[in-house]
Structure 1
Amino acid sequence: MKMGMRGAAASVLILAMGATGTVMSQQPAAGAAAKETSALNSQREKLGYAIGIDVANSFAPISSEIDLAALRRGVTNAFAGKPPLISQEEAQKTDAALRQAMMVKSGQPVPGMAPGTPAPKVDREKVGLMLGSYAVGPSLAPMKEDLDLDALFDAVGTTFNKGTPKMTAEQAKATLEGFMSAKQAQAQADAAAQGGKNREAGNAFMAKNKTVPGVVTTASGLQYQVLRPGNGERPLPTSKVRVNYEGKLLDGTVFDSSYQRGQPIEFGLDQVIKGWSEGVSLMPTGSKYRFWIPGELAYGEQGTPGGPIGPNATLTFDVELLNVLP
C-alpha cells in the first residue's frame, strides 16, 4: 500500500464531496476476533495499527454505512487469495446506492432523483464486503506478512467510534514512513544482489558464446549471428525501421514478441536500447539476425521496473528487418 491509501480506495466512494455531516459508526471494532490490547508490542502490530488509522480516516465520511465484520471478512479473504465474497455486479450496485445515499445526506442533487426523495437504503454488510474485497484487501495483500490484522481493525474501530487511539497521528505517519523506507532499502539491496548475479551469468554466457562458430562480437560487446542473409538497404542509426522480433532471457523465457502479437513494429533506431540501435544498423533489409545484448547495452542496472527483465540482464533477440522506412 502506498502512503496514498487515504483517498485512493475511498475516493471512488466518497465522491470528494466532503460529507462532513455523516454520523460516525457506533459498532464493535471487528467482532469477537478483534484483539483487545493495551499496547502495541511488535512491529507488525504497530504497522497494522498505523495502517488501520489511515484506512479509517479514508472511510470516515461513510463509516456509518460500513459493517466492519464484513469488511474484515473481505480483507481476510483477499489475503488468502480467494475470489471476492461479493460479485463485481453486486459491488457496482452497492457502490451506486452508497453514492446516492451520501449525496442525499449531504444535500447534493442526485441525477434522476426528485428533490426531497429519501436516501436509498444501503446494505452495510455489502458495503463492508465491497470495500474489503475490492479496495482494502487487494491494496494491502502484498504486505499481509508485515502487518497484524487484529491491530489494524482495532485502529479502524477505535477511529470510527472516536475513541482514544493507541498512536498519535504523528506516530502513525512515522511508522508508515519508516516501513516504506525499510522496504525501499531492502528492494534496492535485493536489486543490487540480483544485478550482480545477472552480470556474472551474462559475462560467463557471452565469454562462451563468442567461441561459437558464426557468432561475431563487436567492439561494444554486442554479439550477433546471421540467421538469414539479406541484400536490401541498411538502416542508419537514425533511421526508422519495421521489424519482427522475439526477445528472451538467458533461460529461454520469452518476454516480448511481435510474432505472438501478430503485428510487426515500427520505431526509430535512436529510440531504443543501445544494443538494438547498433545491431539493427548492421542488418540489410530482408535479413534475420540473432543478437545477444549484455546488460549495459540493454536495460542496465534498473532492468524493467516490476519485471520481467532484471537488473544487468543479458538478453537474446531474434530480429527480422522488414523495411527501412522513409
Structure 2
Amino acid sequence: MKSLLRAIAALSIIAAMIPAAAALAQDKQALSGERDKASYMVGMDVAKSLAPAAEDMDLAAFERAVRNSFDGGEPLISEQDAAETGQALMQRVAARSGRPVPGQPPGSQPPTVDKGKVGLLVGADIGRSLAPVKEEIDLPVVMQALKTTLAGGKTLLSDAEADAIRTAFGQRVQASAKARAEQAGIRNAAEGEKFLAANRSVKGVFVTPSGLQYMVLRQGSGPRPHPSDRVRVNYRGTLLDGSVFDTSEQHGGPAEFGLNQVIPGWTEGVSMMPVGAKYRFWIPGDLAYGAKGNDSIEPNSTLVFDVELLDIL
C-alpha cells in the first residue's frame, strides 16, 4: 500500500481538481488549543498527499477505515479487493495526469472504481500510519481539515502556521515516545528478570554463562554451525505473554541468514544446535534488541523462540 501512495503522490503534478459540488466553503469551527491545531495540521498534510486520488474516494468510508485502524480492527476490505482497487486507482490517477496508464495500451480508458472501496483501502493505510500518534490527535478535527483542504476551501491554518505546528508537534511526539519507551524498558526488564529466575528451575531448561536459556525439543544428529556460517531455519517468535511477533511461515517458508547478522541470543543459541534439532530459546532483553527495541518489540523485552535448524549453507 505504501508503494501505491508513493505512486499516487508522484502523479500529483497535474492532478484533477475536486468537483465544485463537493467543496466546503471554509471551516467555521475555531481551533481551541494545541491538540486541535496539531490535528488540523495533520489533516492538511494528509489531504495534500491524497489529492490526486480524492476524486475517486468516498470520505465517509475513508474515515471509517481510519477509525477502524485506530481501534486495531481487521481490514474492512479483502486482500483481493484491495489489490484490484489499488491497481485500478493507480491507472485512473495516471490517466488524469496525462501519463501512460500502467498495464494499458496508449489511449485506453482507465477502469472504473468503487469509491467506497477506495476509501477503505486508502483509509486503512493512513490509519496505520497515524496509529502511533492517535492519542495525540482528534480524528474529527483531522477530517475537518482534510475535507476543507481537498475542497479548496479556506483553512484555519496558513501554510506557515502549519509548518511551525508540525515542528513543535514532531518534537512533542518524540519526547512522549521516548518517555514511554523508557517506562516500557524498565517494566520489561523487571518482568523478564522475574520470569527467567523462575524458568531456570524448570526441568529441561539449561542456562548459558551469558544468561541465554534453552530447552531441547528435538535433538539433531548433524554438524553444528559456526557463528560465521549461514543457516536455513524454521522459527516462531513470541513475547512472554505468548503473542506471536514473527514466524518463518508468515514469510513464505524457511528463513536463511548469517549467524553474525542476527541478535546475539540467536548467534549463540543456533551455534549450539546440530542440524535437524529443534530448540526453544528464552532470550533476555540484553541478548535481543536491548534498550532500543525495534518497530514491533518494546525495549528490554525477553523473547521466546522455537527454532528448527534445517541446514548449514
For 1:50, the equivalent position in structure 2 comes to 41
Q: Deviations over 1:29-85 (max 9, x none)?
A: 548xx8513x3213343224323443454566x69x849xx754233332443847x
- In the other structure, the counterpart of 1:77 is 64
Matched-pair identity in %: 38
Matched residue type, 2:63: T
Q: Which residue, 224, 249, 260 being the options, matches 1:270?
A: 260
- Structure 1 contact 35–151 (Cα < 8 Å) conserved: no
Structure 2 residue 103 is the aligned partner of structure 1 residue 103: no
* C-alpha deviation, 1:274, in angstroms: 1.0
Instruction: Give the TM-score normalised by structure 1.
Output: 0.69
Q: Residues 193 and 122 of structure 1: is their aligned pair in 2 closer, same or farther, counting only changes over 3 Å?
A: same
Question: What 5-or-longer segments of structure 2 have no aligned partner?
Answer: 69-74
Report how far residue 293 of structure 1 moved.
1.3
State the distance in 1 between where 2:160 and 2:191 align. Answer: 46
Say yes or no: does 1:113 pair with 2:107.
Answer: yes
Which residue number in structure 1 is paired with residue 301 of structure 2?
313
CA contact (8 A) 2:232 2:310 kept: yes
Aligned to 2:176: 186
Q: Secondary structure at the match of 1:270?
A: coil
Gaps of at least 5 residues in structure 1 are 105-109, 115-119
1:30 and 1:225, CA in 2 relative to 1: closer, same or farther beyond 3 A? same
1:235 and 2:225 correspond: yes
Deviations 1:249-294 (A, max 9, x none): 2223343444787844433222222112112222334444332211
Q: Which residue of 2 aligns with 1:36?
A: 28
Aligned with 2:281: secondary structure?
Answer: strand
Matches within 5 A, 1:1-326: 9=5, 12=8, 15-16=11-12, 18-19=13-14, 26=20, 29-30=23-24, 36-37=28-29, 39-58=30-49, 66=55, 71-81=58-68, 83=76, 96-97=91-92, 99-103=94-98, 112-113=106-107, 132-135=119-122, 138-140=125-127, 142=131, 146-147=137-138, 149=140, 152-153=143-144, 156-157=147-148, 160-161=151-152, 163=154, 165-258=155-248, 263-305=253-295, 307=296, 309-325=297-313
Is the contact between residue 27 and residue 161 of structure 1 (CA under 8 Å) also seen in structure 2? Answer: no
Is this contact kept in 2: 1:228–1:287, CA < 8 A? Answer: yes
Displacement of 1:187 after TM fit?
2.0
Aligned-residue CA RMSD (Å): 4.3
8 A Cα contact 1:248 1:315, kept in partner: yes
CA 173–135 in structure 1, closer or farther in 2 if over 3 Å, else same = farther
Superposed CA deviations along residues 115-170 of structure 1, whole A, max 9, x for unmatched, are xxxxx8999xx89767644436741563566135357535753785464x432212
Name the SS for the 2:210 alignment partner.
coil
Cα 1:268–1:101 shift into 2, 3 Å? closer
Give the residue type in structure 2 aligned to 1:41. Answer: S
- Distance change >3 Å, CA 13–CA 247, structure 1 → 2: closer
The 3 A distance-change label for structure 1 pair 55 and 267 is: closer
Distance 1:91 1:235 in 2: 44
How far apart are the structure 1 equivalents of 2:312 and 2:244? 26
Aligned residue pairs, count: 294
| SS of 2:156 mapped into structure 1 | coil
For residue 181 of structure 1, report the CA deviation from its aligned partner: 2.4
Amino acid at match of 1:202: G
* 1:71/1:131 contact within 8 Å kept: yes
- Name the SS of the counterpart of 2:175 in structure 1: helix
* SS of structure 2 residue aligned to 1:219: coil
Find the aligned partners of 2:249 and 2:49 in 1 and give their Cα distance. Answer: 46
Query: Separation in 1 of the partners of 2:220 and 2:9?
Result: 59
Assess if the C-alpha contact under 8 Å between 2:9 and 2:49 holds in 1: no
Distance 1:197 1:24, change over 3 A: closer
Give the greater-gyration-radius structure (CA): 1
Asked if structure 2 preserves the Cα contact closer than 8 Å seen for 1:47 and 1:148, the reply is: no
Counterpart-to-counterpart distance in 2, 1:151 and 1:319? 45
Residues 235, 183 of structure 1: CA spacing in aligned structure 2 closer, same or farther, 3 A cutoff?
Answer: same
